[in-house]
Structures are given as structure tokens and as C-alpha cells.
Amino acid sequence: MNKFQMENDGISHIVVPGTFDPVTYGHLDVIRRARRFCPRVTVAVAASVGKNGTGPVFTIEERVQMVRDALQEAWIDDGVDVSALTGLLVDFCHEHGAGGVVKGLRATTDFEYELQQADLNARLAPDIESIFIMSSPELGCISSSVVRELASFGSDVHLLVPPSVEKKLQERFGA
């Protein structure tokens, strides 16, 4: 079998990776939609120590718990696990038996970045598929960095994040 011939075995487990600092309704939309076409989803909360030149606002343990709480609030925790990701994504996929990675795309800038990552992952692990989901139009403007900035100024973020996440942001930023 050459590299262009495929076995028709399907993918029964996918990973949705991200920093989730914090998890937003946009993230939950991607996870919910990924779960619609795959029976098992693992949300991989990445350490991302040097993201954007700074570390994340919340610890990896806090972010894992926020994702778990948000999934439960959104009623999308059936068939969905949450784990910390501290190494390479492709290694995480192999260790967890996942055959694909799902990434949400909001704009062309997301696409350019994610395409580079997908190309690199394909070189490292050609058995792991990269799958892209376009964001829902009403959620495309939401990013964790925007949510953090708004929350740091005491702005209302209840339309952008689940109630449990809003509470954590208020605790963190004293709003």
C-alpha cells in the first residue's frame, strides 16, 4: 500500500489541543462539534510556558479543572476526557491512542499558523490526521487573550465564557 492508498478504518479518538487560558464558548463549540463526528475526544490542555512571550495566567491544573467544569456546565462531557499536555502533541496522541487532532479556525491568521503546525505534525507522525473546524460566525471574535484583557479591566465577560470560568476570572483579576 502506498502513501496515497488508505485503509478505511476511520478515527475513533481525536484530540482537541489548546492552551485554554481560559476556556471560552468558542473552544466549547469546537469540542462539541468534534464530538459529533468522533465517539471519543480528549481535550489536551497544553502547558504553553512561553506563549506570547509570557506564561499563561492560570496554572495547567487550574486550566484542566476549568475545562472539566465548563464541559460539564455545557452538557458535553459524555465521551470527552481532559488531560494535561506537557510534551509534543503527536507523542500525546500516540500515548492516548488518538488518530487525529482537531483545531478550530477563526480567521486566515489562524489558518496560516495551524497549517504550519499540521505540516510539522504530519512529518513527525504521518499516522495522525489534522482536522480543521471553522468557528461558528457568532463565536469567531472570541479568543482567550481578549477574554483575559477584558476581565483584567473588570469588563463583563459572561457572553464569552461559561459561568464557572467567569467566576475564576473575577477571582484572578479582583473584579
| Residues acting as catalytic residues | 27, 51, 106, 144
Report how far residue 40's alpha carbon sits from residue 140's, in angstroms, rounded to the nearest whole number.
Answer: 25
User: Of 152, 140, 32, which is closest to residue 80 (Cα–Cα)?
Assistant: 32
Report how far residue 155's alpha carbon sits from residue 153's, in angstroms, rounded to the nearest whole number.
Answer: 6
Residues 6+ apart with CB under 8 A from 121: 89, 90, 101, 128, 130
Report how far residue 89's alpha carbon sits from residue 85's, in angstroms, rounded to the nearest whole number.
Answer: 7
Cell numbers at residue 163, please? 459561568
